[in-house]
């Protein structure tokens, strides 16, 4: 995946780390006591602060709507008591705005696909 990321950046693609994903990655690196991984994660977003996508109130309001709609349609993305990071991530992507091509690159696109374009990272081909 490191080579893929380097290729994306070399190609001029914008790669963002949404706050909710940063949280997921960071908590696991902390749990596993992977100091070098933490350093790489922080360096990636600190090199260019525009790579970090803060979690806005707009995205949280939209996430609540997506969460409710998915349940009303019988397509929940998690159990009813979960925080449901997938809908928060989808809302962050949607909140980037109309006219912006956004692809959520993930290791598990299944739940996200009902809201946004989502692909496995190795399915995203560069021109």
The residue that leads in pLDDT, 83 or 114, is 114
From CA 42, how far away is CA 26, in angstroms rounded?
Answer: 9
Residue-number span of the structural domain to which 100 is assigned = 2-123
pLDDT recorded at residue 102 = 86
Closest alpha carbon to 22 in 2, 47, 40? 40
Contact between 41 and 25 (Cβ < 8 Å): yes
**What is the distance of C-alpha 52 from the center of its chain?**
10
38 confidence band (pLDDT: 50, 70, 90): very high
pTM above 0.75, yes or no: yes
Supply the CATH number for residue 7's domain.
Answer: 3.40.50.1010
For the cut 80, the answer to whether the pLDDT of residue 58 exceeds it is yes
Give the total number of structural domains in the chain.
1
The values of phi and psi at residue 52, to 5°, are -95, 125
């Amino acid at each position: 995946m490191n080579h893929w990321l380097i290729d994306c950046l070399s190609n001029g693609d914008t790669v963002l780390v949404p706050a909710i994903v940063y949280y997921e990655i960071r908590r696991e690196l902390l749990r596993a006591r992977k100091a070098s991984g933490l350093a790489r994660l922080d360096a990636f977003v600190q090199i260019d602060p525009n790579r970090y996508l803060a979690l806005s109130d707009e995205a949280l309001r939209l996430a609540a709507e997506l969460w409710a709609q998915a349940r009303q349609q019988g397509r929940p993305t998690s159990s009813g008591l979960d925080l449901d990071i997938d809908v928060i991530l989808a809302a962050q992507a949607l909140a980037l705005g109309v006219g912006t091509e956004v692809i959520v690159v993930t290791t598990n696109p299944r739940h996200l696909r009902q809201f946004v374009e989502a692909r496995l990272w190795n399915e995203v081909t560069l021109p």
